[in-house]
Amino acid sequence: MSKSKKTRVQHVLTVQDVTQLSPHMIRLVLGGPGFAAIEFKSVGESPATDQYIKLLFLPQNLDADAAAAQGVDLRRPYDMEALREQLSTEQMPVTRTYTIRHVDHAREQIWVDFVVHGDVGRAGVWAKQARLGDEISFFGPGSGYAPRAEAQWHLLAGDEAALPAIASALESMPEDARGVAVVEVRDATERQPLDVPAGMDLIWLHREAEFSPETTMLAEYLEQLSVPEGDVQVFVHGERAQMKRIRRMLVDQKGLDRKAMSLSAYWAHGRIEDQFQAEKRTPVGQLEG
């Protein structure tokens, strides 16, 4: 007898606050009665600091009014099985993956920070246009990383997409934690005030341009970085091609154990998330090899 596939729980929250953090980053505070059903993740005894959720959006090629007129129920949470019977694959809700920046258990809210590039992108455009009371649904969270208090040295690094997870990790560290956090952003206007332990160095890299293979600075900076011997914990996330280069460098040049690193791609240059996720099952989407 085959095991039945576990049904994914779809949570629904509403927008309760909108803050423009920088020219290209918006924070949405989400909350509501659905908060109580969310199972937040831990790594050992520590709350995970890169908890990711998969937000659901209707695709742009779906005429929602026409679909509703034909009896298609597009209310959240989406009944995915029913929609598969009524809509084509191209019309089904699409997912976009984002990190929970902060969990406020007292107020029953989560913060989600969105990188916004004008009118490009499904989730970023939604965040830019979000109003108080707007609903959003998502699967998750999932996670697998939290800073270890016993680690002798920490390396945190990433681009704008990884900034929420890096900020969350820094906030969770003890004051005597040692290491370096490297964040690449477009320019100085994209910096954010972060709570950094006294023993951690925070390095901002400014591309002075939009991201491209030619303008990115992260991999080159990390290649010149001195990593001490001992118990080093690594969290590096960002653009796929850069993550491939950084993984090879950390293992082959710095001598770090690849199995002990939290290093993965959040996105890929020139790909929307649907393409990016599909390519994870192909050679081009693999970070190793």
CA 261 to chain CA mean position, Å = 17
Task: Please tell me the predicted confidence (pLDDT) of residue 283.
Answer: 62
Instruction: Determine the topology of domain 10-58+93-142 in CATH.
Output: Elongation Factor Tu (Ef-tu); domain 3 (2.40.30)
Q: Which is it for strands 261-267 and 232-239: parallel, antiparallel or unpaired?
A: parallel
Q: Where are the domains of the chain?
A: 10-58+93-142, 153-280
pLDDT for res 270: 76
Encoding tokens for residue 54?
């998969």
Per-residue pLDDT at 1: 44
* 177: CB partners within 8 A, 6+ apart: 147, 149, 151, 154, 197, 199, 200
Give the C-alpha separation, 77 to 13, whole Å. Answer: 10
Specify the pLDDT at position 239.
94
Q: What is the pLDDT of residue 211?
A: 93
Which segments of the chain have a pLDDT < 50? 1-2, 4
Contacts for 242-247 with beta carbons within 8 Å, 24 or more apart? 242/159, 242/216, 242/218, 243/287, 244/287, 245/219, 246/157, 246/218, 246/219, 246/222, 247/287, 247/288
pTM of the model: 0.92
Q: Which fold has domain 153-280?
A: Rossmann fold (3.40.50)
Cα separation, 223 vs 250, in Å, equals 8
Q: Of 108, 133, 100, 95, give the one whose Cα is nearest residue 27.
A: 100
